[in-house]
Structure 1
Amino acid sequence: MVATLLKLRFRVLANQLSRSPWQLVGFIFGALYGLGVLGGAIVGLVFLGFAPQEVAASVIVGVGTLVTVGWILGPLLVFGADNTLDPQRLVVFPMTLRRMMVALTLAGVVGIPGIVTSVAALGTIATWVQWPAAIAASVLSLPLAVLTVVVASRAVSSLTSGLGGRRRFREASGIFVMIPLILAGPIIAGVATGFALNIDTLAVVVRVLGWTPLGAAWAVPADAAAGDWIAAAVKLVIAAATLVLLWLLWGWSLRNTLSHPGQSAAEAVRPGKIGWFGRVPATPTGAVFARSLTYWLRDPRYLRQLIGVPLAPVLIWFYLRDGDPAVGLSFSAPLIAVIVGIVLYADISFDGTAYGTELATGASGRADRAGRTLAAAAIAVPIILIAAVVPFIFSGLWGQFPGILGMSLGILLTSYGVCAVTSAQFVVPVAASGDSPFARVPGTTFLQGMAAMLIWLIAIGLSAPTIVIGLIAFFTGNAVLSAIGGVVGVVMGVILVVVGIRVGGRTLDRTGPVLLSRLKAMKNA
């Protein structure tokens, strides 16, 4: 059964890639990137073998710990959790929970990240070639290291997806886990910067990490090379115990999920209470606006895109705390505008096949573009206004406020105009409604990253006049130029968003059925 599921994993992957040439391109780029990283790692490990034993030990244990942390946080923060074999879909197979977990673990090992990690782990043998005792210890410790990172990734992904809980718990856990993950970056960077000033402290920290579940498996060969067999044996026990505990934790989560599947919450509503649909004009634009605003307020996939907004000023303050934080915080609003300005590029993708309902009503593409833009603006504009006003309350430099506000609104509206056109031409695979917001389809990380980058570049390019005027006005303290920049930003933003809605609407009238067919293909992949 395990072999059958592994074959199914590759068959599903092949079907997904065959349905979308661009997804295949993304998968190929991911594979090439993995090969590049692997090649560089192997070369580095070979040269590391000529370094003193203490240096080699510090590097391998330190990097190995970072690899473990990357496997735990990467699927949540950057890459998404590979959901090719969804445990909830495998429940219909006549198999035990243990076999399912074995199959999912092996599926993780044979994926691109798993292959890169496994080969790189084997490459550490090239470093320890001068110490035969370390090679012997690697035979036991390296499989533990690889299995630990894969099982840890599965367990953490399962827990943060709310597996074993109701849908609301699944949604809340999936969203709020992003807060500490986003803040972890600057915290780790700050700690690393402090350690960089003291090499001895860094060496001590690495030795301590070797006694933790994160680095124990990587430290076993290092202790063997140093002749400290007692420490190597103890760390081997720590590594084995870590794998066992992670396995039990993952099994508990899966058992809860498969025996108590999440249920959609049903809320009693009084007759005639139809939410936002009863508060907007009875027009196609109003209907799209009401539906989109409901999504923004209730769908965790939308809310997840807003988690980074209140943290943007925190990140700015962190990186500029040694300079003048007041200056940096003044640019919180433009940064937030950049973040939330491109969220509409996947709006139809989030609809999924439900987009067919809108097509069936005959609503025009212009109504769709206008309704979605207004709904997103209803959330983003108040946020940007608050982010623009608060820093100047403390600084008192109100003469520079119009330029910052105009820059922010100009970037936001320009981004909406660009998204109105681009989202009418393509859709991207995203987590389905009710799934974990972290779920992904293999081969889509590159595509989504490129799509976001392209939209950002176009939006920033079109907003360049507003940005240049606003920056000059801010750093020269010219209040008149700041006022001009504010007007230019708002006017250009309004013009570009109107043009984008019109052009995108005409495009969507032609491409609507094509987009629906692509959404259906993604759902059936």
Structure 2
Amino acid sequence: MVATLVRLRLLVLRNSFRRSTSQLVAVIIGAVYGLGMLFAAILGLFFLNLAPVDVVRTVVVLAGSAAVLGWVIFPLFLGGEQTLDPSHLAVYPIPLNQLLTGMLLSGIVGVPGAVTTIAALATFGSWLRMPGVALIALVTGALGAVTCVVAARAVTSVSSGLSSGRRFREASGLLIMIPLILAGPIIIGITQGLRSTADGLPGVADALSWTPLGAVWAVPSSVALGDPVGALLRLLIALATLGVLLALWRWGLTRSLVTPAHSASRTRASSSLGLFGLFPGTQTGAIAARSLTYWFRDPRYLRQLIVIPLLPLLLWFYASLNNSSGFLIASGPIVAFLLGISLLADVSLDSTAFALHMSKAVPGSADRLGRASAVLVFAIPIVLLLTILPAALQDGWLALPGLLGLAFGLLLSGLAVSSVTSALFVFPVPAPGDNPFRSRPGSNVANVGATFVSWAVLAVLCLPEAVLLIVSLVTQEAIWGWVGLVVGAVLGAVLLAVGVRVGGRLLEARAPELLIQLGKEA
């Protein structure tokens, strides 16, 4: 039975690579990136063989502790590996011990588990000068890798009741976006902090070596430093940690098999029409109201809006590093670009609900105009604010008209391009109600060609506004900026009208094909 479960995991992994050419490309790119990172980690571990024992101890314990912590935290936000989901296996009479072993091995042979295991085993390379310690590191590396996988399984099983709730999945996906967006400043801040407190890292590593996070990684270095008692105590901590995690996993798995988690739902009566009462009672108005409702209630749309308040902070941070105002003053055009291309996957986000458009014979132009109008309702004031305010703070009044022209051009032309692109392609996106941050296999590069082509087209369409802005800055003549503002607004509006018309015709012609593709992705 254990072999069957592991074979099932490998078959699912293999079949996921065969679903489409785009996923094969994703696998190749991901494999190259992952193997490169793994090779760099292994190379670094072997180079540590030349460093003093204290340095090796500090690096290995800190890195190993971070790995264990990552395996504990990320399943809470991204969800665990679901190939052997207990709720799917509950109907089969599989002995619990065999199920535990099968799930453990399936986690190890998965891509994250395999990478972690190889890197953990490679810690023996840091002790090649001491063959006995290297052998101990090989054993503790295997123990550490198993601890990582079991920790993830235990956290997933224990939190299954909470994570099965739709609101938890939505909130966790949105919350994890914030540190990812701010990853650059966070990494720079941590790096600068480590440089200023490098002398304290050995103390941190020593403290972690007595915790469940770092005990297993400190055993070889304790032996190398001539502390067999400390090594034995740390090994006991590591074994006790693994035992506790296995017990938690067993308890959570037993509970999920007896009472599988399910998503609770409730209905709530509405006393008003909401946004539908504010828009005209036309097909375009109804679609605009529905789309705007999605923008502020669907986490898959909200995750795009999270970037908007964080982007000026990022630009201000990088501007302070370079003592330049160019970063911050570009906030408006950058946000306009992001909002303009935000509709590239709008039809894909509809999922099978797109059938409603077909059943009601909604004109394609009404669909395109309604979706674009919903974005313009909040995009125009946001773009105005993020363009005018930085210019006022940086005393960039000369560049303001040109910046506004470029921003309006990017926003309106972007919506025009999106109106056409979303009628041609179906993008792999999170399913309705799923974790908005979770991506399907191959989704990151499945339509990379279409996306980059859309960006290239948008760059060409906005070239006049960009050129006029540059001329205004170079010549220090405001008239060119005002011309750019007029060109951006007028040309953008014309292009949006053309995009709505062309995209509407394409949508009407391709609606059945799009619905079939959406059904396959559901």
**TM-score in terms of structure 2 length:** 0.84
1:15 Cα offset (Å): 4.5
Conservation of the 8 A alpha-carbon contact between 1:411 and 1:463: yes
Equivalents in 2 of 1:53, 1:167: separation in Å? 49
Gaps of 5+ in 2: none
Higher mean displacement: 119-128 or 455-464 = 455-464
1:268 Cα offset (Å): 0.9
Conservation of the 8 A alpha-carbon contact between 1:293 and 1:376: yes
Alignment of 1:41-80 (within 5 A): 41-68=41-68
1:505 aligns with 2:504: yes
Equivalents in 1 of 2:371, 2:483: separation in Å? 30
Compared CA separation, residues 356 and 103, structure 1 to 2 (3 A): farther
Compared CA separation, residues 84 and 361, structure 1 to 2 (3 A): farther
Deviations 1:128-166 (A, max 9, x none): 222223223324421332234335556677899983564
Equivalents in 1 of 2:161, 2:480: separation in Å? 51
Conservation of the 8 A alpha-carbon contact between 2:160 and 2:261: no
Higher mean displacement: 239-248 or 259-268 = 239-248
Equivalents in 2 of 1:384, 1:363: separation in Å? 30
1:446 Cα offset (Å): 3.5
Compared CA separation, residues 520 and 201, structure 1 to 2 (3 A): same
Equivalent pairs, count? 520
1:171 aligns with 2:194: no
Alignment of 1:207-246 (within 5 A): 210=209, 213-240=212-239, 243=242
Deviations 1:191-237 (A, max 9, x none): 21343466545555555555555544333323333333344344444
Deviations 1:452-472 (A, max 9, x none): 555445434543443354356
Residue 34 of structure 1 aligns with which residue? 34
Compared CA separation, residues 495 and 441, structure 1 to 2 (3 A): same
Equivalents in 2 of 1:329, 1:49: separation in Å? 45
Residue 269 of structure 1 aligns with which residue? 270
Compared CA separation, residues 251 and 483, structure 1 to 2 (3 A): farther
Equivalents in 1 of 2:160, 2:269: separation in Å? 26
Report which of the two structures shows the higher radius of gyration computed on alpha carbons: 2
Equivalents in 2 of 1:347, 1:267: separation in Å? 26
1:357 aligns with 2:356: yes
Q: What SS does the corresponding residue of 1:306 show, helix, strand or coil? A: helix
Equivalents in 2 of 1:157, 1:451: separation in Å? 36
Higher mean displacement: 27-36 or 468-477 = 468-477
Higher mean displacement: 92-101 or 388-397 = 92-101
Conservation of the 8 A alpha-carbon contact between 2:87 and 2:256: no
Equivalents in 2 of 1:161, 1:301: separation in Å? 22
Equivalents in 2 of 1:158, 1:390: separation in Å? 48
Q: What SS does the corresponding residue of 1:427 show, helix, strand or coil? A: coil
Residue 125 of structure 1 aligns with which residue? 124
1:308 Cα offset (Å): 2.1
Conservation of the 8 A alpha-carbon contact between 1:34 and 1:113: no
Higher mean displacement: 423-432 or 153-162 = 153-162
Equivalents in 2 of 1:294, 1:415: separation in Å? 21
Gaps of 5+ in 1: none
Residue 20 of structure 2 aligns with which residue? 20
Q: What SS does the corresponding residue of 1:519 show, helix, strand or coil? A: helix
Compared CA separation, residues 69 and 398, structure 1 to 2 (3 A): farther
Equivalents in 1 of 2:461, 2:64: separation in Å? 44
1:58 Cα offset (Å): 4.0
Q: Give, as a single letter, the amino acid of the residue that structure 1 aligns with 2:29.
A: F
Q: Give, as a single letter, the amino acid of the residue that structure 1 aligns with 2:302.
A: L
Identity %: 45
Residue 342 of structure 1 aligns with which residue? 341
Q: Give, as a single letter, the amino acid of the residue that structure 2 aligns with 1:441.
A: R
Q: What SS does the corresponding residue of 2:128 show, helix, strand or coil? A: helix
**TM-score in terms of structure 1 length:** 0.83
Equivalents in 1 of 2:485, 2:122: separation in Å? 57
Conservation of the 8 A alpha-carbon contact between 2:9 and 2:84: yes
Conservation of the 8 A alpha-carbon contact between 1:145 and 1:217: yes
Compared CA separation, residues 327 and 235, structure 1 to 2 (3 A): farther
